[in-house]
Structure 1
């Protein structure tokens, strides 16, 4: 069994998880699902809850498509609904739209830790299979490996850039 591809993807994911921990330093429950408002001006940019909640949707898909058991990673439909790719990031001052911070953070890290293990143990042959998603996803990422390299690398880093900007606009500074 050869696991080179999975280890390459996992190395990138490991960096993303490490960066996420740093970006969460100083983030409180009260600000987690709030739009930033530097100087009193609300900026419609994804907040921490939306970034991590959205990203938490993908690990079950990764594990499942790499022939792993994703049952424990399945998210409630209510969670997926507010963080889906088509959902809009909303300000949640009352804490009634999004799940609590600890739940979102725990789901994010538990999911990606499981994906990390699945990447490292998956045979290269799995990554070479066609992307079963169809449509635009398959056009962009024709194999399972290319799709999951994006999910575990570029997709995470793209959204961590949003989290980094939100931190700064929220007065937390760089991480």
Structure 2
């Protein structure tokens, strides 16, 4: 019975924001000013989350359709067109999102910190750069292919633009 009372007292204050006062030696409780409480503003992140999840779901559905249709002779070209067009559209939208982020980042205050994760970004950008370069080269060299050559080249170029804008 005592445990239930403790849990009830603990959960009845959930959602309330108590004000804690820091009291040190020699400080008077009445003279001490409360420390300012800083909150992060995540109000605009719902749009980015929704669009990112929409892109993920779209790409997942496209991949499922691609693997279902690519082995059928009648639908092979449609499957290849669908995956390349969808990938190009998503890359263009992501480049647009990066540009919008660059414009909005000018309003932020600069906080100096150690750039400990830059090496991970450089390594992954180098891998994407190589992949996109090979995509452009493969698109240029494939003359007897069923896939539209210009679409493969445009897809590789949009990936190159995206990796170079970070």
TM-score (norm 1): 0.34
State the structure with more CA Rg: 2
TM-score (norm 2): 0.35
Whose RCO is larger (CA < 8 A, sep 6+)?
A: 1
